[in-house]
Amino acid sequence: MNAPTFYHMYPFRLGYREFIRVAYPHQLLAAVIWPLAKIGIVRWQPTVLPRYPSITDSTIPVDQCPEFAKNDISAAIESGQEQGFVDPMIEHMTSVAGNQMNISGVGVFMRHQSGKYMMSFASSRADDGASAKKVSIITWLANDRLVVTTNGRREFDPSPYAKGTYMTGKSFLEIFAAHQQSFDAQGWTFEPIDSKSALIDACDRVIGLYFDHMTKVRGVMELAPEEVSRGISKELNPYQSPASI
């Protein structure tokens, strides 16, 4: 497994409305902090984000799935398989607190046997114990763009490489049906995801587009200084609920 590269994200470089969305469920606090930060009264340290070279560097066997996510991940894989999704890959989602990397969630990626779609499911926990589950259906278009249907909330402003349809709170079956209907109605020319290696490549490209957009286009992220990277332990802490800490 290859070690991650670390990035700094500067939340106050986001637009005001975007910052409020990203701060969910603490929008009121975010609305108060924003103007104070802009005039220099509040100092906010950048968020440290790890980026692994490939999805394969953060995948884990199912028996290493944290206890809090086992049921969610098992249910997501079963639901996906019932709809023709195969080749599940489970990954740990990481956050950085101080100089320690922690498991903050678990995700699973699967490809559809038709080659038209991939599924992304995430079960995560915030530091305050709040939980979140999100499922997305993704199609790669032939022009190196994405079409995404998700039951998650919009956080960041739209990007030129992805067209998103947000069906917040809807079920996996509902968003999959909507994505299929859009696919059939618009006749997208797509890049097939027809093997495990194609699924790995698709996942890596999604992450690559995201980081390139946030660093090179928007300037919201920057590569963290070398001394920051050296000071972070590369050993992952398992997830612990706040009640157990």
Give, as one character, the DSSP assignment of residue 128.
Answer: T
204-221 average pLDDT score: 93
The top-scoring range by mean pLDDT among 42-51, 204-213, 235-244 is 204-213
Please, which pLDDT band fits residue 224 given cuts at 50, 70 and 90? very high
Rounded Cα–Cα distance for residues 205 and 164 (Å): 17
pTM over 0.95? The answer is no
pLDDT digits (tens, 9 = 90+) for 71-106: 899 999 999 999 999 999 999 888 888 888 888 889
Domain boundaries, the chain: 5-233
19-31 average pLDDT score: 88
Residue 149 reports pLDDT greater than 90: yes
Residue 243 reports pLDDT greater than 60: no
DSSP line for 35-80: HHHHTTSS--PPEEEEE-SSGGGSB--GGGS-HHHHHHHHHHHHHH
157-167 average pLDDT score: 89
Rounded Cα–Cα distance for residues 197 and 118 (Å): 13
CA 27 to chain CA centroid, nearest Å: 20
Cβ distance 162 to 206 under 8 Å? no
